[in-house]
Amino acid sequence: MQHKVTLPSGVDSPIVPPTIDFDQVVSLGRALLIALGEDPDREGLIDTPRRWASWWKEFIEYQPGNTETTFEAITHNQLVVVSGMRVYSLCEHHLLPFSCDISIAYLVKDQVLGLSKFARIAQVFAHRLQIQERLIQSIADEVQRITDSADVAVIGSGVHSCMSMRGIRTDATVSSLTTRGAFESNPDLRADFMRLVTNSSR
């Protein structure tokens, strides 16, 4: 039997994306080319502002589809781990892209979240100006809300071009972990999660 979680009255769904002013973004793209010393009317750049605006529209107005399909659990307190999901986002400090490999775990209570929904949840929070730490916190909040499980953990391992393309210009992987409920209080459960994530990446 499917179960769909509804938001409390007055609470906005985090899944509703903002909209962009497409024409203004096109104008900004043209102005940016001029500011960079380029000729936006030359061959090769004529359609660049429009393409750039189309990309921003696709990124910001990303529609994840249904993220809230759950099913009645057969067993309770079973550990579920979904790993190997890679998302792409934009660093809000430099507007440069970063990739992040996401792994999510939760202890099943009454509802099991549909498998594809984990990736949809991760994607919708990645499709905004973001920092990695807030990204994994938002994913944990949403999984917790939909599954009604207090026991959730999310780890993100990101590669940030704002570090590799500018400043120190060094490649590095940044890992962030958030734990809720039993994952925070039970080191053995947390270790099981980390071991399963490590094994799945081999």
Q: What is the pTM of this model?
A: 0.89
Over 70: is that where the pLDDT of 2 sits?
Answer: no
Please report the DSSP string for 137-163 in residue order. Answer: HHHHHHHHHHH--S-EEEEEEEEEHHH
CA distance 106 to 51: 40
Sorted by sequence, the CB contacts under 8 Å of residue 166 that are 6+ apart come out as 94, 96
> For the segment 82-108, what is each residue's pLDDT rounded down to a tens digit?
999 999 999 999 999 999 999 999 999
Tell me the average pLDDT across 4-30: 71
pLDDT tens string 156-178 = 999 999 999 999 999 999 999 99
CATH of the domain spanning 71-200, picked from 3.30.1130.10, 2.60.120.260, 3.30.470.10, 3.40.190.10: 3.30.1130.10
Sequence letter at residue 112: V
Pairwise CA distance, residues 157 & 86, whole Å: 9
Sorted by where each begins, the domain ranges of the chain are: 22-60, 71-200
